[in-house]
Amino acid sequence: MKRAFVALALLAETSAAQAADWKILPDSALTFSGEQAGEKFTGRFSRFDAKISLDPQKLGEAKIVVTLDVASAATGDKQRDTALPDKDWFDQKTFPQARFESRRVTRTATGYEAVGDLTLRGASKQIHLPFTLAIDGRKAEVKGHADLRRDAFGVGQGQWASDEWVAFDVGVDFDLKAEQAD
């Protein structure tokens, strides 16, 4: 009986000491979608990083920070891809990165929600990011979707400031695969 108690105590101590820090794996994806001249398009950011500290049993301690290189946006359309980093759109020379930093993470009826600040093109807005989380041992997958308005962040200046050619609504999808950091 005493041995069983000691084993349980060691197991509990090991579980509590396990890091809740996660390292993003290369097969993760951060994509976006929109509409230009009535045609839907999709794109992806090829360069981004995330620092995630999240234990579902300790959500009050959770912290998520995602940074992305706006110049890495690609949609497969040469004209659009050339324009996106320029001053009228992401203005990557002045604002090379976008950043999301969580304020809190809570459990919802369908998964989780991170509430935090998205800073894009120098404008910061509080957003809600609903997501699902699947943990399998030392591996995890986080999937989610958020609807944003590009005009709220000043994306699209000059002739692109209206929604005449490019819709204001933008969808952002993420599929982050991670492993527990050592």
- Specify the 3-state DSSP secondary structure of 165: coil
Please name the residue that has the structure tokens 């949609």: 75
| CA–CA distance, 148 with 112 (Å, rounded to integer) | 18
Q: pTM of the entire structure?
A: 0.86
Q: Which CATH architecture has domain 19-180?
A: Beta Barrel (2.40)
Confidence of residue 182 (pLDDT cuts 50, 70, 90): confident
Q: Which two tokens stand for residue 100?
A: 């999301």
Query: Quick check: 18 pLDDT over 90?
Result: no
- Tell me what the mean pLDDT of segment 128-155 comes to: 96
Residue 6 identity: V
pLDDT at residue 12, as a whole number: 37
Q: Is the pLDDT of residue 4 over 80?
A: no
